[in-house]
């Protein structure tokens, strides 16, 4: 199922799967998994406590017991991550983490995000001849800089963060990871963990406003979060905070430029930005699927799924389910048909969703204002090899560099 055709455009495969039925056993995923294709079932699996998120060991296990032993550090670190723990551990950790995602904390970050966006766009405008790679120059660095600002770490180290995260994403995003991919992911996760471990003493002695400091305060207050759990959450945030948002920016701008009437409508009425972002998330989800492992036998659509089976809720398919969204393959930035599942659903729903909307709105508004006449500069877009994190390798764009600042207002409102 996962071949170049799927990576370039997974939606025909999802449609064929949905037409063939709501639930499929597929041997290609980690040695065998149930694929859940419809919106209602994906939402219901994601909120059902019988479907556990504890699967960090499952990846390590795919290549047999020796691999599992070799990858024990990966399992050890990530098995404490919010993403991979069930209640009551999850409920406790989520409460601790919520501190950094409260509206006041996010609002305080908005001016920093605007400065980072402006800096990147100025880089684009001064160093290129009216054409640039949107992924390299904007969508890839911005989320890494924002998450670094949130954690209070040095944005200049972002090349390392991105490289470590990409290694981890390669492992998590591969249905059949090789040992080489797995080893690389483990080395990078250990490096990330060590990076944060080295920072902690300073944050404990001189706590600031950043999220790591907030977490060390919780750690100091005793029993709420352990040091190992704290390190796992830092790694999770660094990883989850930018492997995803970069794809919303890249996939979103590509979709808009491929639908010029929608792009023009948005430029004429930027009040549509929140609704446009919702639709872009639905239309081409940055995270195409997630995973669960069954705690007990469950019957669904007449099929018996057994305790221990891996279940793959196909978010990308749910978002194009015609039972939920009329004309699901059309991009309609004014669509108002309920929520997409791109941030997940239920207890593990993305903790960074509000931050993402804020960051993407600042980013897109600024791109529209500062890069008038934006259009695609390449032929067919080149998609990455990751089946979970749907990401463009590059997105060559051009813009009307000759327009002076005084003409920008006109350009935005044509």
For ligand HEM, the binding residues (CB under 6 A) are 46, 53, 82-83, 94, 147, 236-237, 240-241, 244-245, 248, 286-287, 290, 342-344, 348, 350-352, 355-356
Q: Are 254 and 323 within 8 A, CB to CB?
A: no
Q: Which is nearer to ligand HEM, 228 or 413 (CB)?
A: 228
Q: Which is nearer to ligand HEM, 18 or 340 (CB)?
A: 340
**For ligand HEM, which residue has the nearest CB?**
352
CB of 333 to ligand HEM, least distance (A): 17
Q: Which is nearer to ligand HEM, 278 or 372 (CB)?
A: 278
CB of 351 to ligand HEM, least distance (A): 5
CB of 409 to ligand HEM, least distance (A): 30
Q: Which is nearer to ligand HEM, 21 or 346 (CB)?
A: 346
CB of 292 to ligand HEM, least distance (A): 7
Q: Which is nearer to ligand HEM, 276 or 355 (CB)?
A: 355
Q: Which is nearer to ligand HEM, 203 or 278 (CB)?
A: 278
Q: Which is nearer to ligand HEM, 328 or 372 (CB)?
A: 328
CA nearest 411: which of 333, 250, 401? 401
Q: Which is nearer to ligand HEM, 36 or 411 (CB)?
A: 36
Q: Which is nearer to ligand HEM, 39 or 399 (CB)?
A: 39
Distance CA 227, CA 357 (A): 30
The pair phi, psi for residue 340, each rounded to 5°, is -75, 170
Q: Which is nearer to ligand HEM, 53 or 392 (CB)?
A: 53
CB of 64 to ligand HEM, least distance (A): 25
Long-range pairs, 69-72, Cβ under 8 A, ≥24: 70/179, 70/182, 70/183, 70/186, 71/182, 71/183, 71/186
Q: Is 356 left (phi over 0), alpha (psi -120 to 50) or beta?
A: alpha
Q: Which is nearer to ligand HEM, 83 or 182 (CB)?
A: 83
CB of 355 to ligand HEM, least distance (A): 5
CB of 150 to ligand HEM, least distance (A): 6
CA nearest 233: which of 252, 214, 258, 249? 214
CB of 147 to ligand HEM, least distance (A): 6
CB of 352 to ligand HEM, least distance (A): 2
CB of 389 to ligand HEM, least distance (A): 9
SS3 readout for the chain: CCCHHHHHCCHHHHHHHHHHCCEEEECCCCCCEEEECCHHHHHHHHHCCCEECCCHHHHHHCCCHHHHHHCHHHHHHHCCCHHHCCCCHHHHHHHHHHHHHCHHHHHHHHHHHHHHHHHHHHHHHHHCCCEEEHHHHHHCHHHHHHHHHHHCCCHHHHHHHHHHHHHHHHHHCCCCCCHHHHHHHHHHHHHHHHHHHHHHHHHHHCCCCCHHHHHHHHHHCCCCCCHHHHHHHHHHHHHHHHHCHHHHHHHHHHHHHHCHHHHHHHHHCHHHHHHHHHHHHHHCCCECCCCEEECCCEEECCEEECCCCEEEECHHHHCCCCCCCCCCCCCCCCCCCCCCCCCCCHHHCCCCHHHHHHHHHHHHHHHHHHCCCCEECCCCCEECCCCCECCEEECEEECCCCCCHHHHHHHHCC
CB of 343 to ligand HEM, least distance (A): 5
């Amino acid at each position: 199922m996962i071949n170049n055709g799927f990576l370039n455009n997974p939606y025909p495969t999802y449609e064929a799967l949905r037409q063939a039925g709501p639930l499929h056993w597929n041997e290609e995923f980690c040695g065998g998994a149930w694929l859940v294709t419809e919106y209602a079932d994906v939402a219901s699996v994601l909120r059902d406590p019988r479907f556990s998120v504890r699967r960090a060991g499952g990846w390590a296990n795919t290549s047999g017991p020796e691999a599992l032993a070799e990858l024990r550090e990966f399992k050890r670190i990530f098995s404490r991550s919010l993403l991979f723990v069930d209640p009551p551990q999850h409920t406790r950790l989520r409460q601790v983490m919520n501190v950094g995602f409260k509206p006041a904390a996010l609002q305080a970050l908005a001016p920093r995000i605007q400065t980072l966006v402006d800096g990147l766009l100025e880089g684009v405008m001064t160093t290129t001849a009216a054409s640039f790679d949107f992924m390299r120059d904007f969508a890839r660095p911005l989320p890494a800089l924002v998450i670094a600002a949130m954690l209070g770490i040095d944005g200049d180290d972002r090349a390392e963060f991105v490289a470590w995260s990409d290694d981890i994403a390669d492992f998590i995003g591969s249905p059949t990871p090789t040992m080489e991919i797995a080893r690389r992911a483990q080395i990078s996760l250990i490096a990330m963990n060590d990076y944060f471990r080295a920072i902690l003493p300073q944050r404990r002695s001189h706590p600031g406003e950043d999220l790591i400091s907030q977490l060390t305060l919780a750690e100091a207050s005793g029993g709420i979060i352990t040091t190992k759990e704290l390190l796992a959450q830092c790694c999770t945030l660094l990883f989850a905070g930018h492997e995803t948002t970069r794809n919303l920016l890249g996939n979103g701008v590509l979709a808009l430029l491929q639908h010029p009437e929608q792009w023009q409508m948005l430029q004429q009425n930027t009040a549509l930005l929140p609704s446009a972002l919702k639709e872009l998330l639905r239309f081409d989800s940055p995270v195409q699927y997630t995973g669960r492992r069954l705690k007990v036998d469950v019957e669904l659509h007449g099929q018996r799924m057994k305790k221990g089976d891996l279940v793959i809720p196909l978010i990308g398919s749910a978002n194009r389910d015609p039972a939920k969204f009329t004309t699901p393959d059309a991009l309609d930035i004014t669509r108002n048909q309920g929520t997409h599942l791109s941030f997940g659903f239920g207890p593990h729903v993305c903790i960074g969703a509000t931050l993402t909307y804020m960051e993407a709105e600042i980013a897109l508004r600024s791109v529209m204002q500062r890069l008038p006449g934006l259009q695609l500069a390449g032929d067919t877009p080149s998609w990455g090899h990751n089946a979970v994190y749907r990401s463009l390798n590059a997105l060559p764009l051009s813009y009307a560099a000759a327009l002076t600042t005084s003409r920008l207002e006109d350009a935005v409102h044509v």
